[in-house]
A and B are shown apart, each in its own frame.
Chain A
Amino acid sequence: MSSEPTTTSDHLSQRPSGLLGVMADWSSDQRSFKTASWRKAMMWIFLVSDTFIFSCFLISYMTVRISTTVDWPNPSEIFALELYGRKIPLILIAIMTFDLITSSGTMALAVNYAYARKRRPAAILLVATAVIGAAFVGMQAFEWSKLIHEGVRPWGNPFGAAQFGSSFFMITGFHGFHVSMGVIALLIIARNVWRGDYDSGRRTTYSHRAGDYEIVEVVGLYWHFVDLVWVFIFAFFYLW
């Protein structure tokens, strides 16, 4: 049945706002998230759990970096690249950061066009987001192979504290895995949008209801989260 109750018809105009609204929404045996559908709420809850996973990685990195008596390798030098005969510090990571922010922008526009039911620009922007994301993974692969070539291993490296390698491979590896999964999800959604699955209500992977483009926003939440995690990795692992 397609008449699944939508949260948007929950007499929202009559509900209190502010802290009173928080109490009203969370009390009396009802669905608490009035503006978020079940899948948006579930994506958010998944993202909270993912936040905890990445927090644990970053906190263990902090712990080993504080506790080691050996000097921590200088990321500014390790991730420098020789460009035009000049050694530019951390340039590869800076490019990766700009790359990911660009993809976040195209994703936000894709969500906007999807809600406007402009299938063509929405699908093109989704594919663009996936391509830019894939470029990020490619640069990460380059970074990994460069470091492995220079002798960085999870159990030691020529630059300093042995824990540098394990933290690096664990944190960036997990993040790169997230980006890769996001690229696959984006391509699936882009195909569905292009084919018009969300207009016809055709039942395929990630589509079940006609006229509902919310899935684009939900996959967008995941994508922006991947960018968000990178903001923290960039600050704490590469810049600190």
Chain B
Amino acid sequence: MTSTTKTDRVDATVVAHTEIARSHHAGAATPKAHAHGRQHPLKLYFTVWILLFVLSAGSYAVDYFNFHGYLRWTLIIAFMLMKAGLIVAVFMHMAWERLALVYAILLPPLAVLVFMGIMAIEGYYTNFSRLVFFASKS
């Protein structure tokens, strides 16, 4: 007898938990769930969407109008970073995640910059040696 009532109680708690889980997963069911970044006004998505189009048009214009040198590289990098930022922050909902996840995901790729620096030095060195030793071939 006691064992059955116990299982009943356990079942009841399981059901209660499931209800909580459901209400959280239902999206706008609770204000809390909304705060977790599940649903956002459509206007935000459309704004970002249009911005991405404008930025892409900007980076294409860099090539179309044939900018050269540092102006070209600065513009390319600027447009690229703005686009990447918008996609990650809004479309991938990073802006609504807790910082513990944001840092765990966004900080490790920064190590790539170090690798990039090392390989740039290596590349220039290889280029230098080729020019010195194989210049006649080029």
* A residues in contact (CB < 8 Å) with B: 1-4, 6, 8-9, 12-13, 17-19, 21-22, 25-26, 32-36, 41, 44-45, 47-48, 51-52, 55, 59-60, 62-70, 76, 89-90, 94, 97-98, 101, 104-105, 107-109, 112, 115-117, 210-214, 217, 220-221, 224-225, 227-228, 231-232, 234-235, 238-240
In the complex, the answer to whether A36 meets B25 with C-beta atoms within 8 Å is no
A63-B97 contact given A90-B63, A97-B60, A108-B45, CB 8 Å threshold: no
- Interface of A, helix, strand, loop or mixed by DSSP: helix
Inter-chain pairs besides A1-B14, A115-B38, 11 sampled, C-beta below 8 Å: A32-B104, A59-B116, A60-B119, A64-B123, A69-B131, A76-B63, A90-B60, A98-B53, A105-B52, A108-B45, A235-B76
Q: How far is the CA of A35 from the CA of B59 in the complex (A)?
A: 35
Interface residue range, chain B: 35 or more
Partner of A34, one of B28, B91, B98, B124: B98
Cβ contact within 8 Å between B59 and A105: no
Closest to B33 in A: A8
Question: Which interface residue of A13, A112, A231 has the most chain B CB atoms within 10 A?
Answer: A231
Q: Are A235 and B21 in contact (CB under 8 A)?
A: no
Taking beta carbons and an 8 Å cutoff, which residues of B are in contact with A?
14, 17-18, 20-22, 24-28, 32-33, 36-40, 42, 45-46, 48-49, 52-53, 56, 59-60, 62-64, 66, 72-73, 76-77, 79-80, 83-84, 87-88, 90-93, 96-101, 103-105, 108-109, 112, 115-116, 119-120, 122-124, 126-127, 130-131, 134-135, 137-138
CA distance A23 to B120 in the complex (A): 36
* Best-surrounded residue of A55, A70, A101, A235 (most CB of chain B within 10 A): A235
Chain B residues, Cβ within 8 Å of A104: 49, 52, 87, 91
Interface centre among B53, B77, B87, B96 (most CB of A within 10 A): B87
Q: Would you give the shortest CB distance from B121 to chain A, in whole angstroms?
A: 9
Q: Which residues of chain B have C-beta atoms less than 8 A from A227's C-beta?
A: 87, 91
- 25 contacting pairs across A/B (C-beta < 8 A): A3-B18, A6-B21, A6-B25, A8-B32, A22-B99, A22-B103, A25-B98, A25-B99, A34-B100, A60-B119, A62-B116, A63-B126, A66-B120, A69-B138, A76-B66, A90-B64, A97-B60, A98-B53, A105-B45, A105-B52, A211-B22, A224-B91, A224-B92, A228-B92, A234-B59
| Residue in A closest to B35 when the chains form the complex, CB atoms | A12
